[in-house]
Amino acid sequence: MKKTILFLAVLSLVMINTVSAGDKAEFVNLGFSPDGSYFFFGQHGFAADISKSYADLYMVDVAANKFVPAGVYSGEYVVKLEPGQSSDGALFSLLETALPARKKYNIDYLLKGRPLYIRISDSDEEIDVLSFRDFETGSSFDLQLVQSAELDSEGQAVSSSFYIEMKFTGSGGVEVPFTIGHPDFKRKDVASYRIERVLTDPANKSIIIIVAKIDNDLNIRYMVETVRIR
């Protein structure tokens, strides 16, 4: 019994420390359409300051690199999470509202694609230049994350923006440059950005770049930039 109480006390302390360091959402890959034209993803987490679990869902037109019409869903749910419990119930609840869109764009939860890059460092170090190879297709990728922020007199970010320069080299050695994102779009209170993952669809035609948005309070939310390479 004493061991159980001690375990719960330690776990509670870990949860408190995690919240104090910022609220980090959990990214969820919800699948592609069979031809890779559409990508569905979500995120969920728990906002301790308001005792609510939250979830967001996004349906993306890959070629256009934008959400489909009415393709964004958000929800907040009042709930008390016990130590060790997940906020994924918020995501499951919100998924029910997105079922018509999922069917319309033929999203298959099982079509997750393949990871090409996964950030594994636990540090907050920003890596703005990436190079990696897709050994299945023989292609290679060079990415540079270019970001800028407008700061106030205290050094806090008022707004920020970014874009990604990507060089795709096919198995035949032909290099194709892409500029991905919207450098003129400023996001309020976002301090910096970080590339977390890069994946391709099962047909190897689409590239999905998962980007973390980090605000002044170290809260982390996710977005994606997308491009069709074939």
- Same domain? For 142 and 46 the reply is no
Tokens of 33: 């359409």
Residue 80's pLDDT is 82
- Same domain? For 117 and 215 the reply is yes
- 26-49: b (≥16 Cβ within 10 Å) or e: bbbbbbbbeebbbbbbbbbbbeee
- Same domain? For 120 and 211 the reply is yes
Residue 10's pLDDT is 40
Q: Which of 15-19, 74-78, 194-198 has the lowest mean pLDDT?
A: 15-19
Residue 15's pLDDT is 43
Question: Which of 111, 135, 153 delimits the end of a domain?
Answer: 111
Residue 142 pLDDT > 90: yes
**Mean of pLDDT over the chain:** 90
Question: Which of 111, 128, 149 delimits the end of a domain?
Answer: 111
Residue 85's pLDDT is 84
Tokens of 176: 């194709």
C-alpha distance across the termini of the chain, in Å: 60
- Same domain? For 127 and 166 the reply is yes
- Same domain? For 105 and 127 the reply is no
Residue 14's pLDDT is 42
CA distances from 207 to 1, 59, 137 (A): 51, 15, 13
Upper half-sphere CA count for residue 36 (Cβ side, 13 Å): 18
Q: Calculate mean pLDDT across residues 43-65.
A: 94
CA distances from 176 to 15, 167, 171 (A): 45, 6, 12
Q: Calculate mean pLDDT across residues 123-132.
A: 82
- Same domain? For 6 and 95 the reply is yes
- Same domain? For 121 and 105 the reply is no
Calpha distance 205→210 (Å, rounded): 16
Tokens of 75: 């929800």
- 91-119: b (≥16 Cβ within 10 Å) or e: beebbeebeebbeebebeeebebeebbee
- Same domain? For 93 and 126 the reply is no
pLDDT higher at 213 or 22: 213
Structural domain count of the chain: 2
Residue 148 pLDDT > 80: yes
Question: Which of 111, 128, 146 delimits the end of a domain?
Answer: 111
Give me the domain span that covers residue 104: 1-111
- Same domain? For 107 and 118 the reply is no
Q: Where are the alpha helices (DSSP H) in the chain?
A: 2-20, 88-95, 99-104
Residue 122's pLDDT is 63
- Same domain? For 97 and 118 the reply is no
Tokens of 85: 């419990």
Tell me which DSSP letter residue 92 carries.
H
Residue range 111-122, pLDDT digits in tens: 999 999 999 876
User: How sure is the predictor about 3, in pLDDT bands with cuts at 50, 70 and 90?
Assistant: very low
Residue 82's pLDDT is 79
Residue 123's pLDDT is 62
Residue range 58-99, pLDDT digits in tens: 999 999 999 999 999 999 999 888 788 899 999 999 999 999
Give me the percent of the chain exceeding a pLDDT of 70.
89
Q: Are strands 139-151 and 220-228 parallel, antiparallel or unpaired?
A: unpaired
